[in-house]
Amino acid sequence: MFVSADDVSDTSATIADRIFDRLRQAIVEGEIPPGSKISEPVLAARYGISRGPLREAMRRLESTNLVDRKPNVGARVITLSSDQLLEIYVIREALEGMAARLAAQQMSDAAIADLQQLLAQHRSEVARDGQTYFQQEGDLDFHFRIVQGSGNRRLIDILCNDLYHLARMYRCQFGMKSDRVRDAIKEHELIADAIAEHDGELAEWLMRRHIRLSRRAVERRLVAENSGQSVSTFRSRH
Amino acid sequence: MFVSADDVSDTSATIADRIFDRLRQAIVEGEIPPGSKISEPVLAARYGISRGPLREAMRRLESTNLVDRKPNVGARVITLSSDQLLEIYVIREALEGMAARLAAQQMSDAAIADLQQLLAQHRSEVARDGQTYFQQEGDLDFHFRIVQGSGNRRLIDILCNDLYHLARMYRCQFGMKSDRVRDAIKEHELIADAIAEHDGELAEWLMRRHIRLSRRAVERRLVAENSGQSVSTFRSRH
DNA sequence: TCAGGATAATCTGTCGACAATCAGCGCATG
DNA sequence: CATGCGCTGATTGTCGACAGATTATCCTGA
């Protein structure tokens, strides 16, 4: 019934930390459907633990905005709305734009070479078999590296521990068969070039434009799909 | 020994939520000194509660990066470093710049009028009795309103629930006798004017410059104070 | 005198149980 | 027939207690 630990390390010291990772993954990948109520007793029984660590994990999930809690009532998995998706794009535009600027100023030559090698791999992949789902993960990989390259620990924390999980959640819920991969790859290359030339100003501008274009593409898809039916809340595919 | 609930509402339904608010305030205001170890039994006894709710509150504090936890060892209040302070300024530059742009596009006329009235009040205050500490809170007030005006809920959440508490914590630890208040007020007015004219582009540019200048001022103060002694970690005034 | 190891005390992590609160449901009543 | 009320069942919030781990202490020996 549950996809058993495909690649998660799950080697933390405490149960609460492990259960937090597993729950986050389960929520992000849609295993626990959006909007569903989370019952502490059944979850604790399912994972074979007590309610104490589970509640601590829930508190962390609440902090990262993956679940919504009401006192004395319980917790529900958040229901993704198109509004919130667009809000995330706006924040990513600001934050990753800054990350690109910092990366251009600070990234080591070795890291830049790695980045460009990753891009070459992406290019060959997309040339080989078009727009596959894996490409989407590759996109996150690219952004992930640039954020890491910024060297700003709190920036890395916000992006990698909150927003990227949200982004992955949206992609798992939606099909996300982006018809924009070729353009996106090209934009990635421009950004990488700007970083390679240590042009922070340009790197930020290009990154912001890149994310803005992605957001517009999603926006168009939303209004296209949304003709007549509300996509504001997703079907709960239990 | 403890400043008893000066203005915190503390009317949440659950103990864990109340204790989270109180602990956060205590940490931010330096009541629990930076770097000090947090012992669950003594804190629980001090607040007259059990360890369960306390641990849930600690998990939330961990998520907001106000405490640092090591498994089987315990939690310590974070020690503020000048590096991290500068990192926060960088993030604020990106995020609040975007907030100013959005606010210029979306803020209602009434909210804009309120904002300008707040600025007028600040101006009169700073003209009356120079650079008071209270002025610093007024600065946060101004930024707070613009972030609220952006209408982006997640942006508001990140800024108001994480970064502003950190900023307040730095101000409580440092003396923060800013000699920049007059310039800052002027910059605030320019930003408010841009918002009033619904010029998002300009508002973002001005806000980013404003925060960048504030960061540079802090930077200068740091290197000035730091001549000979490390300010990287603060004295623990137990 | 100082290094090293064994012991003890304390603390964290986890669990099961009790009490308070809320959602759902049936029933009475206008 | 619709609506308000009380009851029941289950769930959440909270507590105290136990097990494992870590830190501090003290004793021994070189």
Most B-contacting residue of A154, A156, A215 (CB-CB within 10 A), to test interface: A154
Summarised one tens digit per residue, pLDDT across range A102-131 is 999 999 999 999 999 999 988 888 777 655
Q: Out of A5-19, B70-84, B195-209, which region has the weakest mean confidence (pLDDT)?
A: A5-19
Report the C-alpha gap between B97 and B100 in whole angstroms: 5
pLDDT in the model for residue B47: 95
Compute how many other C-beta atoms are within 10 angstroms of the C-beta atom of residue B97: 23
* pTM across the whole model: 0.88
Closest CA to A145 of A181, A110, A180: A110
Summarised one tens digit per residue, pLDDT across range A145-172 is 999 999 999 999 999 999 999 999 988 8
Report the C-alpha gap between B38 and B33 in whole angstroms: 10
Hey, what domains does chain B have and what are their CATH numbers? 5-77 (1.10.10.10), 82-233 (1.20.120.530)
Q: How confident is the model at residue B176 (pLDDT cuts 50, 70, 90)?
A: low
Answer yes or no: is pLDDT of B7 > 50: no
Summarised one tens digit per residue, pLDDT across range B54-64 is 999 999 999 99
Amino acid at B168: R
Under 8 Å between Cβ of A54 and A44 = yes
CA distance to partner chain A, nearest, from residue B181 (Å): 26
- Amino acid A8 CA to nucleotide C10 C1' distance, rounded Å: 34
Residue B229 has what DSSP assignment? S
Checking each nucleotide's C1' against the CA of A58, the nearest proves to be D12
Q: Which of residues 194-233 of A touch strand C (CB under 7 A)?
A: none
Question: Considering chain A, what is the average pLDDT of its residues?
Answer: 87
pLDDT in the model for residue B1: 38
Under 8 Å between Cβ of B157 and A65 = yes
Q: Which residues contact B173 (CB under 8 A, 6 or more apart)?
A: B30, B34, B80, B234
pLDDT in the model for residue B130: 58
Write out which nucleotides of chain D lie closer than 7 A to a protein Cβ: 11-17, 20-23
Under 8 Å between Cβ of B60 and A56 = no
Under 8 Å CB pairs connecting chains A and B tally to 86
Amino acid at B155: L
CA distance to partner chain B, nearest, from residue A12 (Å): 9
Answer yes or no: is pLDDT of B173 > 80: yes
Is the CB of residue B40 inside 7 Å of nucleic acid strand C? Answer: yes
Answer yes or no: is pLDDT of A1 > 90: no
Closest CA to B26 of B138, B124, B160, B172: B172
Summarised one tens digit per residue, pLDDT across range B19-62 is 999 999 999 999 999 999 999 999 999 999 999 999 999 999 99
- Amino acid B48 CA to nucleotide D10 C1' distance, rounded Å: 29
Residue of B nearest to A20 (CA): B59
Compute how many other C-beta atoms are within 10 angstroms of the C-beta atom of residue B83: 12
Cβ within 8 Å, pair B63-A60: yes
Under 8 Å between Cβ of B162 and B88 = no
Amino acid at A229: Q
Judged by phi (left if over 0) then psi (alpha if -120 to 50, else beta), residue A217 lies in alpha
Report the C-alpha gap between B10 and A222 in whole angstroms: 41
Is the CB of residue A57 inside 7 Å of nucleic acid strand C? Answer: no
Cβ-based contacts of A64 with chain B (< 8 Å): 63
Answer yes or no: is pLDDT of A238 > 50: no
Closest CA to B58 of A23, A55, A165: A55
Q: Which helix (H) or strand (E) holds A75?
A: strand A74-77
Question: Considering chain B, what is the average pLDDT of its residues?
Answer: 87
Answer yes or no: is pLDDT of A98 > 90: yes
CA distance to partner chain B, nearest, from residue A183 (Å): 25
Q: Which helix (H) or strand (E) holds A74?
A: strand A74-77
Supply A147's token pair: 């954020």
Q: How confident is the model at residue A7 (pLDDT cuts 50, 70, 90)?
A: very low
Burial of B176 (0-12, 13-18, 19+ CB in 10 A): middle
Cβ-based contacts of A152 with chain B (< 8 Å): 87, 90-91
Q: Out of A63-67, A193-197, B132-136, B233-237, which region has the weakest mean confidence (pLDDT)?
A: B233-237
Checking each nucleotide's C1' against the CA of B58, the nearest proves to be C12
Mean pLDDT, rounded, for A209-214 = 96
Q: Which residues contact B195 (CB under 8 A, 6 or more apart)?
A: B100, B103, B104, B107, B112, B115, B146, B149, B203
Report the C-alpha gap between A43 and A162 in whole angstroms: 23
Report the C-alpha gap between B214 and A14 in whole angstroms: 41
Estimate to the nearest angstrom the gap between the alpha carbon of A197 and the chain centroid. Answer: 28
Report the C-alpha gap between A208 and A194 in whole angstroms: 13
User: Interface of chain B against chain A, CB under 8 Å?
Assistant: 12-14, 16-17, 52, 55-57, 59-60, 62-65, 71-72, 84, 87-88, 90-91, 93-95, 97-98, 102, 152-155, 157-158
Cβ within 8 Å, pair A90-B72: no
Summarised one tens digit per residue, pLDDT across range B213-224 is 999 999 998 888
Report the C-alpha gap between A18 and B24 in whole angstroms: 25
Per CA to C1' distance, which residue is closest to D23? Answer: B73
List for chain B the helix, strand, coil content (%; round to 5).
70, 5, 30
Report the C-alpha gap between A229 and A57 in whole angstroms: 35
CA distance to partner chain B, nearest, from residue A198 (Å): 18
Cβ within 8 Å, pair A88-B154: yes
Amino acid at A108: S
pLDDT in the model for residue A231: 41
Residue with tokens 């309120």: B114
CA distance to partner chain A, nearest, from residue B126 (Å): 32
User: In B107-238, which residue ranges form alpha helices assigned H by DSSP?
Assistant: 109-129, 133-150, 153-158, 164-173, 181-196, 200-225
